[in-house]
A and B are shown apart, each in its own frame.
Chain A
Amino acid sequence: MAATVASKKSSIWRNARARREAIAAYMFLSPYLLVTIVFTVGVFMFAIYVSFTEFNLFSTPEWVGLKHYKSALHDIKFIRSLVNTLYYAIIVVTLQTILALLLAVLLNAPMRAKQFFRTIFYAPSVTSSVVISFIFLWLYLKTGYVNYFFSKIWSLGGAEWEAINWLNDPRGLFQLILAPFGVDIPSSQWYFRGPSITWMAIMFQNIFTTVPTFMIMFLAALQDVPPSLYEAASIDGANKRQQFFRITVPMLRPIIFLIVVLGTIGTWQVFDQVKLLTAGGPLNTTLTPVYLIFSEGLGINGPPRMGYASSRAFILGAIIFIFTPIQRRFIEQGTEQY
């Protein structure tokens, strides 16, 4: 074994053509290698070092060992951001996967204007999150369309809708549900209050932009489901609902799995909407890890704490890393071995 490896290796250096090919390959790869060694490997190594130091960009980094990692355990803000994200991940991933699948199935039927609808449905996904945020900021105003819509619905039932300040309302979901029963959750137990109204408003906005992307992925996967399965089922008298749950869902199981994983990875990295709409408020109910890393690392409210931010980034990275092996398996399935 070792001998064959050695002979293979030496043949590269002996065989002029193989050598020429190898040198050419490295020439073609050199821009990538250059960039990745500096901006990925180098930066990653540096990040590990910084996370063990106290550093504010202008001082020389001061070694503090595991201090930042130990403090994470009782860093209320950081834990809060993780709990917020957990709520976010559960709600957003569930809803967006279901909605994307339903839309894809609806669009998959043979019809003439398929292209047109696909294009229309996909539009929110190509628009910048900044633009979407500003439009929703306006829709969510106390005098905006969302409150107007609810007031119309409520007036149908003869009730009065109390306008909500969507982007500045810390009341939690469970808190609201339990309030009519006279149960009040104290603020010390904020984690039982559930996602705040503001947080749910941002979730809705996020679902609006991510559903189309996942819908397209489902549509692509639906092409691979053999139509003969549906034909056989309909001959056997299965109705559409049965076909959906007995054929479509099982056949799409791998892609559903992938989309759940991708969606989860995405939800742990929410930043744009929070920065633009709430800056983590009200009462930290929309604080996310990436926003915390950004604001503490750059010193938005105080001196920059780069060591602190880097350590939090690694903890976040470790959480996301739990999901990546699954994603990796999918990529490798799509890649032939060399």
Chain B
Amino acid sequence: MTTISTDSQMLKRTSEIKKENTMKRVKVIIRYLLLSLLGLIIFMPFILAFLGSFKTGAEIIAFPPTLFPEKWMWRNWPDLFNTDLGGSPRLEGSTSIGLIVGLFAFYATFFLTAMSNQQEGKGVPLKIGLPISILLIGITGYVISVYLGSSFDASLILRASTAIALMLLMLIALGIIGMSEPDWGRVLLSLFGSILVAGVVTWLFAQMAISIGGGRFTRWLFNTALLSVVRAFLQLIFCSMAAYAFARLKFPGKKFIFGFMLASMMLPGAVTLIPSYILIAKLGWINKFYSLVFPGIVVAFGIFLLTQFLKAVPRDLEEAALIDGASYFQIYKDVILPLARPALLTLFILQFQAMWNDYLSPLLYLNTPDMWVLNVALEVFKQQYVAQMNLVLVGAIVNALPVLVLFFFFSRYYIEGVSYAGVKG
């Protein structure tokens, strides 16, 4: 008797558990359905725009709107690249593109070569090495200003401000290498080589920019991609340098500078919008890439992100290296940079996207068709092709695709970065 009752109880219980399980399963299915529906709604504008980009100019503004195109106009996409907006490329714009890439090439080559393999050098002492290096940088600055003068009719102030800005950045690189009591023969050789490489790269990219032509869609794509990549790379170098100082080194005034940096992150961009424009105009950098690259070469947000990351990383390795007599630059290059790789990737992706999506600064500073980035060009494109919403949509999608693709591949890094975004403001 008792055994039967327990059996039936058991049966009852298992059926209850089964019921609960099915309830749970139904709940999970409802959740998935709800999420899919939400995803579809959120993605709807993109889907509609993508389908719309294949419609004819008439169908796209017809009522009632259709979901799928009646006639698939594959031609819309290649048509985008045949737009005749703009004019012939201007030399000065192309030169500014070349020099910005050249700056990047200089930093990359110099930092990579100046300190690698500390072998027996030619024994050039500081007394000779430093003056010759500075002379070399001075000559480079002079060559840059002459180059700016010869390749187009640049005003004196543009030539001077650009040459000085580039020379200062080269001197900083020299100073950082010089800190570690290097073999100056090697430094000289590396400096000379880097300037040569940078020169060749500058010339190559200037030629490439000229050959791509002005005002066409390809040129805008080229401008946007170049600006985004180069600026994000330069930010990695300069932000990580500052972050290393903040996270690891002791120096007077550290607390004040760090506090100042945090405060500057909260300064709304609108406050300095107009005076920044005046400054850039006075420097002669309007319609040059310098106007977007130099002020953005290092950002407080990037320094903050990297500093926080580095502070969480143990320092055993560096202490061992310091005892072994490594210089601060060697530690930065051989220990800190490899350690910070995940944070650097996050920063690169976020800053690449920030430049690619930026609208206000390019709108302010770039004003001829051959210098535009996609965001600015699209607006004029819209006015020019006002009756052809389909082409505007193609342009918008082409603009969105690179960032979306990058995002889908590296979404983990984006999302890590956003958890810091609470402080981005």
Contacts and interface: CB of A to CB of B under 8 A. Distances in A.
A189 interface: no
A274 to B, nearest CB: 11
B242 A28 contact: yes
In this complex, which of A134, A213, A290, A334 has the most chain B Cβ atoms within 10 angstroms of its Cβ? A134
A211 B232 CA distance: 26
A321 B363 CA distance: 26
- Interface size range of chain B in the complex: 35 or more
Interface residues of A, number: 107
B49 interface: yes
A23 B275 contact: no
A175 to B, nearest CB: 27
B360 A126 contact: no
Nearest to A46: B275
A144 B363 CA distance: 28
Interface string B243-260: 011000111101101101
Contacts of A217: 418-419, 421-422
A269 to B, nearest CB: 6
Nearest to A240: B27
B309 to A, nearest CB: 12
Contacts of B249: 21-22, 24-25, 28
A27 B421 CA distance: 28
B268 interface: yes
B32 interface: yes
A275 B268 CA distance: 18
Interface string B20-58: 000000001001101100110011011011001000000
A272 B359 contact: yes
A84 to B, nearest CB: 15
Contact of A213 (B39, B275, B418): B418
Interface string A125-144: 01111111011111101111
Interface stretch (A36-44, A176-184, A225-233): A36-44
Given A135-B46, A331-B423, A313 B273 contact: yes
Given A123-B404, A272-B360, A117 B382 contact: no
B351 to A, nearest CB: 13
Contacts of A317: 267-268, 270-271
A148 B35 contact: no
Contacts of B308: 334-335
A63 interface: no
Contact of A111 (B28, B277, B414): B28
A331 B424 CA distance: 9
B90 to A, nearest CB: 22
Contacts of B62: 143
Contacts of B48: 135, 139, 145
Contacts of A101: none
Contacts of B268: 265, 268-269, 316-317, 320
Nearest to B407: A126
B396 A122 contact: no
Contacts of A212: 42
B17 to A, nearest CB: 17
A239 interface: no
B298 interface: yes
B35 A117 contact: yes
Contact of B393 (A39, A135, A313): A135
Interface string B373-405: 011001100100000010011011101100110
B271 A47 contact: yes
A128 B359 contact: yes
Nearest to B176: A27
In this complex, which of B62, B255, B258, B271 has the most chain A Cβ atoms within 10 angstroms of its Cβ? B271
Contact of A298 (B277, B395, B411, B415): B277
B403 A338 contact: no
B264 interface: yes
B311 interface: yes
B390 to A, nearest CB: 9
B242 A297 contact: no
Interface in B216-268: 238-239, 241-242, 244-245, 249-252, 254-255, 257-258, 260-268
A123 B42 contact: yes
B175 interface: yes
Contacts of B374: 130
Contacts of A271: 270, 359-360
A173 to B, nearest CB: 24
Given A126-B353, A129-B359, A143 B252 contact: no
Contact of B399 (A12, A44, A130, A338): A130
Contacts of B179: 20, 23-24, 27
B134 to A, nearest CB: 15
A338 B245 CA distance: 13
B295 interface: yes
Given A35-B298, A111-B31, A309 B65 contact: no
27 contacts: A25-B251, A28-B176, A28-B245, A31-B241, A43-B272, A43-B276, A57-B278, A106-B31, A109-B31, A118-B411, A121-B39, A122-B411, A124-B45, A128-B359, A134-B382, A134-B396, A135-B46, A138-B52, A138-B60, A216-B419, A220-B415, A255-B422, A294-B364, A317-B271, A330-B423, A334-B308, A334-B422
Interface of A: 9, 12, 18, 20-36, 38-40, 42-44, 46-47, 50, 57, 103, 106-107, 109, 111, 113, 115, 117-124, 126-132, 134-139, 141-145, 147-148, 151, 163, 208, 212-213, 216-217, 220, 255, 258, 262, 265, 268-269, 271-272, 275-276, 289-290, 293-294, 297-298, 306, 309-310, 313-314, 316-317, 320, 324, 327-328, 330-332, 334-336, 338
Interface of B: 28, 31-32, 34-35, 38-39, 42-43, 45-46, 48-49, 52, 60-65, 168-169, 172, 175-176, 179, 238-239, 241-242, 244-245, 249-252, 254-255, 257-258, 260-279, 281, 294-295, 297-298, 300, 303, 308, 311, 328-329, 332, 353, 356-357, 359-360, 363-364, 374-375, 378-379, 382, 389, 392-393, 395-397, 399-400, 403-404, 407-408, 411, 414-415, 418-419, 421-423, 425
A-B pairs, 8 with minimum CB distance: A143-B63, A128-B357, A25-B251, A25-B249, A22-B251, A47-B275, A24-B328, A317-B271
Given A42-B279, A135-B49, A138-B389, 9 more contacts: A33-B257, A111-B28, A122-B414, A130-B375, A143-B62, A216-B415, A306-B274, A320-B268, A327-B423
